[in-house]
Structures are given as C-alpha cells and as structure tokens.
Chain A
Amino acid sequence: MSEDLIDLDGGQTRMEAAYGSDDGDEDLFAITAKREASVGAIFEQNYRPWDGDFGPRWVRNYAIFRHHVFGLFSSKGHRNYNPFIRLTILVIFIGAISPIAMLFFSSLFGAEPDGFIDKMWGVNRSNLWGQVLGYFPRNLCYWPLLTALVVGGMISDDRRNGTSAIYFSRPVTRVDYTMMKYLSVAVVLGFVIIFSYMLYYTLAIVFKGEGWGFLIDTLPMFLAGLLCSILLVITYTSIGLALSSISQSRFFSAIAFLSIIYGTKLVALLIDLQFETSILYILSPYDCLAHFGQWMLGLELNYSHSLSLSVVSLILMNLVSILVLVSRVSSLEVTRE
C-alpha cells in the first residue's frame, strides 16, 4: 500500500478495490474504516549533566540506615521485607507491651495494691527482669525470632546479590558499612525490646498514679534492667550479624541464630539436669545475660557457677562475633575475581 493511502491520524483510509464494474482503466478505491495507527515514540538519547553537591559522610551513612530501617514500615523505595516478617515483628511488639494492657485494666477496675495483677504485671524486681530477660515467652519466642527475622539477609543478601559493589565502589568505607548495618539491626531490636521496656515502666507509673517516692525506689532497678536490655540487644545483634556475614542465605543466618540460642540452652539444661552443674550455661548467650541481669536487679541467682564466668563469656561472645563480622565484611569484593 502506498504511503499516501495510509492515514496515520486514524479514521478512514482508502483501499484499492479488487474488482470493478468498468473497463479497468481507472483506479478504484473503497473507503474503509481504519484503526488508529500507532507511530510509536522516537527515542532520543541525550546525556544530561548534573551539577549538584554531595552531602558529608553522615548523609551517606544515614542513607544506609534509612534504607534498612524504613523498609520495615514501607518497603516502597527501601529494603524489601516480606509482609510476613513485618507482621511477625508487629505481633512481637504487641506481645512485648501486653503487660501494659493488664496494668491499664487493673487501674480501670481499681485492683488492690499487692494483689494478683500487681504481682504478675506491676513494677517490681522480678517483672523488670522478666520484661527483658524472662524466658517464656520473651527469650524463648519473641527476641530470638525477632533477631532472626531482622538479621536474615542483612549482609548475606549483599554477598548473594553482589550489592556490596554498590556500597564499596562509592565513598562508603567498610567501617561505615558495618556500623550502619549494626545500628540498623540494633535500632529495630531496640525499638521492640528497649522501647517496650521503657514504655512498660513509664505507663505503669502513669496508670497506677505513683508518686516521686515510687520513682526514687524503682529507678535504680529500672536502670539496671535498661542496661541489661541494651546488653541483650548488643549481644543478639553481634551474633546475628556475624552469622549473616558468613553466608549468602537469609535462611542460614536466621536458623543458625535460633540454633545457637536454643541449642546452647538445651545442652546446658540437659547437663544441669543430669549432673547438677550449671557451668555449661556459660555457652548460652541468653543464660549469661540472664545471670548478669539477676545480679544487676538483685534477684536470687538461679546459677551455681560464678557470675564472672558468665560476664567473661558474654564479652568473649561479643568479641568473637564482631571479629567474625569485621573479617567477613573485609572479604566482600567490589570486583569479583
């Protein structure tokens, strides 16, 4: 069909008729309806320069932090967390602040002081310890699961996808990279563990209408618990990130973390039951923290071995984890050989 027969604007077009009624000397055309022709768009490649300024080191570091932490709230534009992970973290957070609801109801119903609700959920040494270091459900379910979900893929994804090249070919140092990843995990864990602890203490005072005397009595205990919660966040973050840095799999780091937390506890428990010695609890990160926490809050110690062993073990666990983390981050490549 010749070009003049094509109606690019759409509408009607002329079509050469196959058979005519006259002698054939004249051209015959029929007018037909035609779909609008698509002419497409011509791609013109133009290089556009950019003349902006770069922010300082903290701007780059904040970008890493924001990418990982904001992803929990909105995966659009940030690191993608599976909706199941986000939902589980929400459930854990709600679980962690559940005593607040009990305190709220007790204040509504006017429960008597030192009654059942107050003993179970009110502010005292055991409950402040339990809010952070209680075994069930917090250290059996909540905190290990939370850590496993957050650290899974934090560094291993960069190793698997090769995205470490995106970081290190830019002015991001390995120290900045490690610190920001560490801070991102610690802030998420801290938000759930430390924030829920602080919220619990503050709202307990508000709901029960306690005064300055109560505050002065309980503040040292609260601060001891706060220190324990910070230690717990640091320890779990160190171990979790170290495991994330040694593999290319999200699943491995998550499962390995849970195995370490539960496995060491189980082995120590079995040895304790069989031989009545608590010494193997120094292998369990949770028990070292719990032992230290009991001492800090002035509770009766559940462990027969020396506290210093637990403290030394805790320091060694953190040290080894950070050494592994640093060494594995150093091995992340920009160019692959």
Chain B
Amino acid sequence: MNEISSNKLVIETVDLVKMYGPHVALEGLNLKLESGAIGILGPNGAGKSTFFKCILGLITTTSGQGKVLGYDIKTQGDIIRSRIGYMPEYDSLDPELAALDQVRYSGELIGMNPAHATQRAHEVLEYVGLKDQRYRKIGTFSTGMKQAAKLACALIHDPEILICDEPTNGLDQRSREFMLQTLRNTVQQGNRTVLMSGHVMDDIQEVCDSIVMIHKGKIVVHSRIEELASQVDEEIEISVWGGSSRMQESLESRGLSVRRLGRLIRVKVESEDTISVILKCAVESGVQVRKMGEYEPDLEDIFLLIMDKLGAEVKTTSDLMTSEHTGGVNNE
C-alpha cells in the first residue's frame, strides 16, 4: 500500500475492526486521508458502507481507533455528523415536501436556526442548479433533480467533509456531468473534502485525485490515481478486421501478453520492437490493422487489474466466515 504524506489529515483509522457477529466487515483498517477528493472503490460487500457508517459514528466498532476531523468516532459521533454532509445512494427525500422545505428541514436537524436554514437552503439549491425548481414538490422531480436535492441537503451546513454514495447513480449524461462539475467545484472552490464511492470509474476519475480500494474488509490500494496509472503496463491498442482470433493466437505464440475485446486487441509493450512484431503478426494472420495507438489506462483498467491480481471479483459467503463459523477449518 502506498503511503500518502499526511499534511492535513481529515480521517485517520488505526487497526479498525468491525464484525457483525462472526462476520468480518472491516479487518484492521489503517487509513490516513488528507483533504481533497477521494474515491472509495470496492466490489459489492467489500465494506464501503460499513466504513461510511463507522466514520459517521453510527455503529460501534469492534476494536481499533478512528478519528474524523480530530474527533473520536466511538465517542464523538454526534459532533462528527454535524461536520459531515452525507448524500445517500438511494432516495432519502420526502416526495410531498417542496425542495426548499426538505433542504431547510435537513439543516434544522443539524441544529440550524430555521431562519438561517431557510436562507442557506436558497443558496445551496441555487448552487446545485435547482434555483427555479425550489418550490416544486420533490415527488415531481426527475432522478437528476432528486440527486441534486440530496446534495443540497448534504451541503446546507457547509460541511468540512462531504460523503457521496454513488452520486451519479441513475443520471443521464447531462445531469451526470453537472453533478461531477458540482462536486469538483465543492472541492476546488469550497476547499472541502469529498469522499465519493461509486462503480463508474470514469466518474471517480473525473472528480478524485486519489483512491482507496477496499476488498474483503481490507484496504488494498490507497494512492493517487496518476501514480497508479503509471504502474499499469504500457499497452498498444489495435483495431483489427477479419480474423481477430487468428491475430490473438499469432501474438500469443510470439510470447506477447494480449487482452482482447472483440476487434479491439491490447498488446503489452515488451520492447521497442513490439509494433513491428504486431505488424508482422497481422501480415501472417491476413488481417487488416485499421487503427493502432498507445493505450492510456483509465481507472477501470486499474481496478480490474488489481481485482484480477487479488483473484476475486466479489466477496463470497465463505470469505466472510471466521474460524468461529467454520470450526477452525480453513475455508480455502
């Protein structure tokens, strides 16, 4: 795991363990997060939601320690929650309330004076692009508008940390871009920390500078995205026509590492001669190479590569079992 220099730590955990009965949800989490935009990645059941609940001080941890903005997650959960804005993944709005009333009420629940909450609700609704719709009932909103309203609820008290659980879920392209732009602005203009979980790697890459990858309750990667990208092998991407399988076989027979997706073939750069080898293979296989270029790895590649190295896509039930469950028999 790459270490990140700790100038201004917003979240810090030491050997954090959370068990649900015999199930291990978080296993010895050691994490130091600086302010900025951080993506939280992991397959389903990896422990992302448990991690969020722990840092919000909502559940009691089994062992270990954690601090958010310097406050203890075990004893100062209420202070932490008043300084964090949480945007849930699923619907969490009253469809019968107007957007302004819902946002104002969520501010009052933190302890804001009703007059201040109303004024601030106007401001944040304008910020998330709902200025003209603020008097409309939430039940009449589109998915994008609901997501924006949830973000406004999370931002009403100007939190130091904003936790967004899959903020672009169900959004069309335009709404998605606006949501990502808003999150970027919150980090850059507002100088706030954004913790963003999601399955769409492009979204995380657009907003976040660094990522934390959780797998089987453990942190497997914690690094800046560009550092990770530099660790991924350099590849050449070619688009072939008429015999992709033959081309793949030919490349593999020459000892090249190949990833194929239909007509698209990505070949790992082994040496300076790789391009000429590819062309020779194309001639031998009788295929047309219609496009050739250097492949820029994105976060999805990094994620898949790491998951591939870890040897599991999702957490299985047996992964969650401890010796207490299995009677001391190793389930592997």
What residues make up the interface of A, taking CB atoms closer than 8 Å to B? 43, 45-52, 54-57, 59-60, 63-64, 67, 76-80, 157, 161-173, 334-337
Contacts and interface: CB of A to CB of B under 8 A. Distances in A.
B117 to A, nearest CB: 9
Q: Which secondary structure characterizes the binding site on chain A?
A: loop
A45 B181 contact: yes
A54 B91 contact: no
Given A56-B111, A162-B88, A171-B81, A334 B94 contact: no
Interface stretch (B100-108, B219-227, B298-306, B315-323): B100-108
Contact of B109 (A43, A60, A157): A60
Contacts of A157: 94
Nearest to A55: B111
Given A52-B112, A55-B112, A169 B91 contact: no
Contacts of A172: 109
A171 B153 contact: no
Interface of B: 49, 52-53, 56, 58, 77-79, 81-82, 84, 86, 88-98, 101, 104-106, 108-114, 116, 120, 123, 127, 129, 153, 156-158, 165, 181-182, 185-186, 189-190, 192
27 contacts: A45-B127, A45-B181, A45-B182, A45-B185, A46-B127, A46-B189, A47-B185, A47-B190, A49-B190, A50-B123, A50-B158, A52-B113, A52-B116, A52-B157, A55-B112, A55-B113, A59-B108, A59-B111, A60-B108, A76-B101, A77-B98, A79-B97, A162-B90, A165-B86, A169-B81, A170-B110, A335-B89
Contact of A337 (B49, B82, B96): B49
B92 A162 contact: yes
Contacts of B96: 79-80
A181 B98 CA distance: 21
A167 B81 CA distance: 10
A170 B106 CA distance: 8
A47 B226 CA distance: 27
A216 B86 CA distance: 58
Nearest to A162: B92
Given A47-B192, A55-B112, 8 more contacts: A50-B157, A54-B82, A55-B111, A59-B111, A59-B113, A163-B92, A336-B89, A337-B49
Contact of B112 (A46, A54, A162): A54
A48 B112 CA distance: 16
Nearest to B56: A169
Sort A-B residue pairs by CB-CB distance and give the 5 closest, nearest first: A54-B111, A63-B108, A169-B86, A171-B78, A47-B190
Nearest to A164: B92
Nearest to B155: A47
A60 B107 CA distance: 9
B185 A334 contact: no
Interface centre among B52, B108, B120, B129, by most chain A C-beta atoms within 10 angstroms, is B108
Nearest to A43: B129
Contact of B52 (A43, A50, A335): A335
A334 B109 contact: no
Contact of B58 (A46, A56, A64, A168): A168
Contacts of B185: 45, 47
Contacts of B95: 161
B217 to A, nearest CB: 14
Contact of B53 (A51, A67, A167, A335): A335
B250 to A, nearest CB: 47
B123 A166 contact: no
Contacts of A79: 94, 96-97
B9 to A, nearest CB: 21
Contacts of B97: 79-80
A48 B49 contact: no
Given A163-B93, A169-B81, A334 B88 contact: yes
Given A55-B112, A56-B111, A170-B110, A48 B94 contact: no
Contacts of B106: 166, 170
Contacts of B165: 335
Interface centre among B56, B105, B127, B182, by most chain A C-beta atoms within 10 angstroms, is B105
